[in-house]
């Protein structure tokens, strides 16, 4: 469904937003739900910057933000646990 370049963009956005979130989370002393909300907000901002840079596409922005947020927050670990591999 996703092209290789879009998958690369997802990983880049997730990596950058994770780094920024970790710094802000320590500085703001956030935990649990607050940290997740911060992560989603940071991911949305990073995704918006990427979309503006390459030409705005609202649907792609929504998908990019959603999937990159899942990747940044470790959703793949939940899938591995559910599958019995974790």
Question: Which pLDDT score, from 0 to 100, does residue 81 have?
Answer: 61
Residue with tokens 């959703």: 75
For each of the chain's 86 residues, which pLDDT tens digit applies? 689 999 999 999 999 999 999 999 999 998 888 888 999 999 999 999 999 999 999 999 999 999 999 998 876 565 556 665 54
Domain that holds residue 78: 4-82
Would the pTM of this model clear 0.95, i.e. be above it?
no
Number of domains in the chain: 1
Question: Which pLDDT score, from 0 to 100, does residue 72 have?
Answer: 87
Nearest to 42 by CA among 22, 28, 63, 59: 22
CA dist 57 to 8, 29, 63, 75, Å?
Answer: 17, 34, 10, 25
Whether 21 and 39 have beta carbons less than 8 Å apart is answered as yes
């Amino acid at each position: 469904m996703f092209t290789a370049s879009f998958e690369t963009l997802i990983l880049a956005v997730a990596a950058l937003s994770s780094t920024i979130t970790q710094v802000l989370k320590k500085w703001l002393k956030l935990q649990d739900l607050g940290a997740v909300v911060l992560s989603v907000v940071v991911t949305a901002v990073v995704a918006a910057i990427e979309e503006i840079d390459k030409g705005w596409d609202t649907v792609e922005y929504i998908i990019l933000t959603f999937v990159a947020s899942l990747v940044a927050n470790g959703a793949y670990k939940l899938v591995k646990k559910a599958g019995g591999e974790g």
